[in-house]
Amino acid sequence: MQALISELNQICSKFPYKEKVVIVDSHSIGEQINEAFVKEGHQAINLKYKTVIDLAQTLVDMNSEQPQNSLDHTVGVHFTYNLLKELKNQDKLRYFAGMEITPALSHAIFTSIQTIRLAGYTRDTLKMKAFINPDKAKDFYEILSEYENTLISEQFTDKAGLLNKANETAQIDEKVVFILQSGLTLSHLEDQFLRKIIPETVYKLPLAPVLGVNTPELSSLSSIHGGPPTPLSYLYQQEEASVEPNLDVFTAKTEEMEVKQILEKIKKVKAPLDESVVYYSNADAYITLFSHLSQKMDLPITFGEGLPVSFSRPGRFVSGLIGWIQSNYSVTAFLDLLNEGLIVMGKGVPFIEGEFVELDEVVMSNSKLTRVLRDLQIGWSRERYIKLLGDELDRLSDMVLEHEGDPYYENQARDMVWIWACFHEIFKKLPPLESTMNYKKCLTGIAYLLKYNCKTRSALDEMAKSTLLEAIKTIIPYADESLSSYDLIEKVKDLLLSIRVNQSRPKPGHLHVSTYKSGIYNSRPNVFFVGLDNKKFPGNVSEDPLLLDAERIQLGNGLRLLREKGQENLYTLLQVLANSNGHVTVSYCHFDMNENRVVNPAFVVLQCYRLITGNIDAEFKSLKSLPSSIIATDIFEVKDYWNEKLTNDRSHLLNEGILTQYNNVKQGIAAETARNTGKFSEYDGLIQIDAELYDPRHNQDKKLSAGKLETLAKCPYSYFLREVLKVRPVEDFSFDANKWMDAATRGSLLHSIFENFYKRLQQDHVKPSYEKHLELIKSIAQNLMEQQKEVLPPPNERVYQRERSDILACCEIFLKEEELHSENYDPLHFEYSFGIGEKDPAIITLPSGEVKISGIIDRVDQSKDGKYHIIDYKTGSTYGYAKNAAFKGGRQLQHMIYALAIEQHLNLGEGAVEESSYYFPTPKGLAQRFTRKQDRTLRTNGIDILEKLIDTVKHGHFEMTDDVNDCKFCDYKLVCRRHFYDKESLEMKQSNQKLKGVRAYD
């Protein structure tokens, strides 16, 4: 850089008052040159930095009456996508006819069009014979023609059009001193334009030469003007090197360690951050790491290429919103947005009976909103949100009227209005997921929610939000079109999620991180190059599949050959190294964590090592001697402290200060220690419990059910988690393309069919007959299925017909079996409930006291001799049921509990219920009945089981099940640690004689 600054200073001194224009590839390069120039104390009077496009734009604006409407890249890709679709629909494509028109293809085609046009070609001058395939030539002609027609009809000017207009009036400007950046990247039209405006006397800024490597072939305007060599100019010509370079090489186990070692080096030399710059070979591998550490350490960093928009909250909001739409508004996808804190809910809407409430006055936690959405089993689709939330609002409104003045129901209803209104407003903006959707409407909805419902917490968030909204605003005027849902989602993703934000030049007080390709004009004294392994550098060398190198050669006009890209990348890196002032550090990561394999360094690293050591014959194996640590030697974040402890060979006793700071670790150690002993403790399910609260014999407000008691018998620990700790498994009701109803919904539907069928027969005073009533039960089933379809639409007709056939098959089995059963029994009660809602609970009297019971009995029949028969429909398989296992170790208690409960509830007298049965009227169940005779022996044993089970609650003795088979279908597998215990330890802890007594009953 010293030679460049010296040359520029001489030019400025020679022409102090004349306008001087430095022609650069980008404004960023101009800023870097100017910063270095001013930093050396020179005056930049009348010194300007412009790109070729800047010069062309100025000239066109001076000679045009109407301002030029420049084609935005995003709009250009959008036009290209549409014209490709149109050409394909019109069957005008041949070579590209078999390709799917995607956003990625549109980007590639648009880039190819720009390349061809900047090379000076139009549809009228395109060399058709340059293409290897006639169909390809014809397709490019059609695409180029349609593209140029679009520019005319939409009144846009692209870069090629701008340069063509500028060339029409371009002439040499003797008033300006033109200074060229070395190695200018010029298209054919840019080269033509420059030659027309610059005089014969033109200056070129020098760069340190790269020796030993072929210089890229460039035009006279793009050539590189070499200055005096620097020590690193000899990297590939080390025989002539005479000065020791200020260069280091290191390696790291992972990219994270590579980044942290750089920060350690900056910290060690106490260098200000703005005197250091880091250049990477691959953005994906390093941007995330630097961004993460920047946030963790509050480290000021600027990013030359910016950050993916997904690093910001608005970016994640848009990504989540797209996913929510794509999932047909799945509750699970929405809850991801909610629980990450990305979405803000609330606007003002009408309340019950015409009153109004401002929604932001209603405070609702995310956990409560989550519980409501899951409890209502909304699952997915806009229609289900509005219908099920509306139904719940109606129900709560009725409760408000029924319990007038009760603040509980008023608050519940108020909250439900808030939820209903929020989703009503959202769905007014977002379109339904349909086979064909409107692109503009979708973008408008996303923009509205982004503007009003997206949380921001930082300057990066605000910048990302503004950028996303601007991108939508740019494309909206041209987006009023219908697309398939798949194409629309892909286009929205391509438009919004490919955005990069926070692109910045190097700033004072900031460490700068960017690609090495932008580092030639860097003036910072401490330069780091990361990621120089042979996987990332010089990068994959491949041709452009749309414009092959052979075609580029035939087209000519300076088109770059992509097969030379690798060599160009190497030359660029060497140019950056040669021009770097001060200390240079080169590094690479030698292990790929994702692929679990060793990675080798790039050849340039070996050259650096040879130059440092003076051993020009060193080989790659010599680099293995470089030290490498798997952990950071300095502490940048909490995990670095723990990594050091874990990898240190010495044992460390965590002191009380550390344990106080990390109380969760302290509690974990105590729990693990207790679990590893044979003693049954609170960490295994033995707790001090308030018997007055949890024992139903003492707490008369507490009701039990057959299901809860069976859970207590099966695994007391799972009862403890559910009923004492109130832990609930997440029950997401999600869309399944191969399933309509889940087991619970299907079972509920069958129960309703059987109930409605029998009630109809009771009205007609007839008994079931397969011959007479088959159509009746099928009709009832069909009506109820139609109702179910309104609440829960099937994913497709095929799935609906399959499950419909299964339901109707169950109805036939049921009817045949009931025809036989009705010869000896008459149905009396259907879905008989007690202890639910306003109905009094049933009471079972135990030797130690009374227990209140709640439940619903599917059916109660009466035999001809006046005895009662309880029937419980089972709609699954018969697994776990046997003819002679009445209690199955306490796991099947419902038959006995319901018998005792209904005798008490209906005052039938002891022994009135003669038998209970589990009835399986399904193809899987083969209409089997597992009948339990409710004799004295069974009841005596059952009462003893209940007594023992409730005593386990009284004593707080919630041990884990003694049978691993009970864990197969348990909801608490993720929180239960049973599988961590060895068999002997578990047996020692399972000392509850009460439960062992329950297991004795088969």
DSSP per residue over 74-92, as a string? HHHHHHHHHHHHHHHHTT-
Interval 2-22 mean pLDDT: 92
Rounded to whole angstroms, how far apart are CA atoms 596 and 586? Answer: 23
- pLDDT at 356 exceeding the cut of 70: no
- β-partners of residue 933 are 915
Contact 60, 162 (CB under 8 A): yes
Q: Choose among 902, 911, 901: nearest CA to 852.
A: 901
Residue 362 has a pLDDT of 54
Nearest 10 degrees: Cα torsion 611, 617, 619, 621: -90
Q: Choose among 610, 608, 450, 638: nearest CA to 537.
A: 608
Q: pLDDT-derived band of residue 631, with 50, 70 and 90 as boundaries?
A: confident
Q: pLDDT-derived band of residue 355, with 50, 70 and 90 as boundaries?
A: very low
At CA 258, angle to CA 255 and CA 261, rounded to 5? 150
Contact 522, 207 (CB under 8 A): no
> Which of the pair, 649 or 399, is modelled with greater confidence?
399
Interval 331-344 mean pLDDT: 91
For 963-995, write each residue's pLDDT tens digit. 888 888 888 888 888 888 888 888 887 777 778
Residue 351 has a pLDDT of 43
> Which of the pair, 915 or 735, is modelled with greater confidence?
915
Percent of the chain with pLDDT over 90: 69
Interval 807-834 mean pLDDT: 94
- pLDDT at 354 exceeding the cut of 70: no
Alpha helices in 218-365 (DSSP H): 255-268, 283-297, 313-326, 331-339
Interval 262-275 mean pLDDT: 92
Single-letter code of the amino acid located at 143: I
Residue 353 has a pLDDT of 42
Residue 915 has a pLDDT of 94
Single-letter code of the amino acid located at 967: C
Which range has highest mean pLDDT (337-346, 569-578, 657-666)? 569-578
Contact 220, 245 (CB under 8 A): no
For 77-123, write each residue's pLDDT tens digit. 999 999 999 999 999 999 999 999 999 999 999 999 999 999 999 99
For 933-971, write each residue's pLDDT tens digit. 999 999 999 999 999 999 999 999 998 888 888 888 888
